[in-house]
């Protein structure tokens, strides 16, 4: 495997090469692989890596990768489809709130241990802060807590009075279909043993989903014809 050093201090005092760490974390978050699948794949390349080592890499680097890629994030549209889905963590259900725009681009997400008005409001505050503006339109399903959360945010001045609220199961098919990628990736993961580790892992999965959907503007950073590892090296070094 060709060495492409990443010129930053993210990988100091690590036993393995930087590109090996990035590759393992990226494949785990992007592909339907277990930690032991990756151990076997690396062993075929002459790299003895314990599955617990890869787990630690994911927990250490997924937030940092998301932070560095987000510098190049393109703003999503102003028509939001909002819904929540379920994630099992150590035998208990948690709730993943997500929003996409009218073209399917991810607006934001938030993992919550509860499904209530406070959780919905926390999600909207995070999404508005992330996008730097209120949406023009919000489409919800019939869940009463979500509608109440929007009303209260308007009253508190956290959401624009001009934002239109719609309730449509048909229009929200877009977000329900978008959930599938995340659930497809998360379902086989055996590392979701705590809420904190689950939140970190899902943050990485959501990053890969956004990369897949082309939600980053890298025109000033990379040149045409660069390979995926070279693009990652450029983003992390920026």
pLDDT number for residue 191: 60
- Provide the residue-wise pLDDT of the chain in tens; the chain has 238 residues: 444 444 557 787 667 888 899 999 999 999 888 899 999 999 999 999 999 999 999 999 999 999 999 999 999 999 999 999 988 888 889 999 999 999 999 999 999 999 999 999 999 999 999 999 999 999 998 889 999 999 999 999 999 989 999 987 777 788 888 888 888 888 767 667 899 999 999 999 999 999 999 999 999 999 888 999 999 999 998 8
* Crossing angle of helices 51-69 and 35-43, rounded to 10°: 100
Phi/psi class of residue 146: alpha, beta or left (left: φ > 0; alpha: ψ in -120 to 50)? Answer: alpha
**Residue 234 phi/psi, 5° resolution?**
-65, -40
pLDDT number for residue 39: 96
Topology given in CATH for the domain delimited by 79-186: Nucleotidyltransferase; domain 5 (3.30.420)
Question: Could you give the residue range(s) of every CATH 3.30.420.10 domain in the chain?
Answer: 79-186
Evaluate whether 55 touches 79 at the Cβ level (below 8 Å). Answer: no
- Tell me the β-bridge partners of 112: 95
pLDDT number for residue 190: 64
Q: Pick from 163, 159, 108, 117: which is nearest to 139 by CA? A: 163
Angstrom distance (rounded) from CA 121 to CA 112? 11
pLDDT number for residue 206: 96
Helices (H), ranges, the chain = 18-30, 35-43, 51-69, 117-131, 144-155, 173-186, 195-212, 228-237
């Amino acid at each position: 495997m060709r060495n492409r050093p990443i010129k930053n201090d993210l990988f100091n005092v690590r036993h393995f090469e930087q590109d090996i760490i990035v590759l393992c974390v990226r494949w785990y978050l992007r592909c339907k692989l277990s930690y032991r699948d990756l151990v076997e794949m690396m062993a075929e390349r002459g790299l003895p890596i314990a599955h617990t080592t890869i787990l630690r890499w994911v927990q250490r680097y997924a937030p940092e990768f998301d932070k560095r890629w987000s510098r190049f994030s393109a703003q999503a549209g102003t028509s939001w489809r909002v819904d929540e889905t379920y994630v099992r963590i150590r035998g208990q259900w948690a709730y993943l709130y997500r929003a996409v725009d009218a073209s399917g681009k991810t607006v934001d997400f938030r993992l919550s241990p509860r499904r209530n008005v406070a959780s919905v409001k926390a999600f909207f505050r995070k999404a508005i802060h992330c996008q730097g503006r209120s949406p023009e339109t919000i489409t919800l399903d019939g869940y009463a807590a979500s509608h109440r959360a929007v009303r209260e945010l308007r009253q508190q001045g956290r959401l624009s009075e001009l934002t239109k609220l719609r309730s449509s199961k048909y229009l929200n098919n877009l977000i329900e279909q978008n959930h599938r990628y995340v659930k497809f990736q998360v379902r086989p993961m055996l590392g979701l043993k705590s809420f904190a580790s689950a939140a970190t892992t899902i943050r990485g999965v959501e990053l890969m989903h956004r990369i897949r959907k082309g939600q980053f503007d890298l025109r000033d950073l990379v040149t045409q014809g660069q390979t995926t590892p070279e693009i990652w090296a450029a983003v992390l070094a920026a």
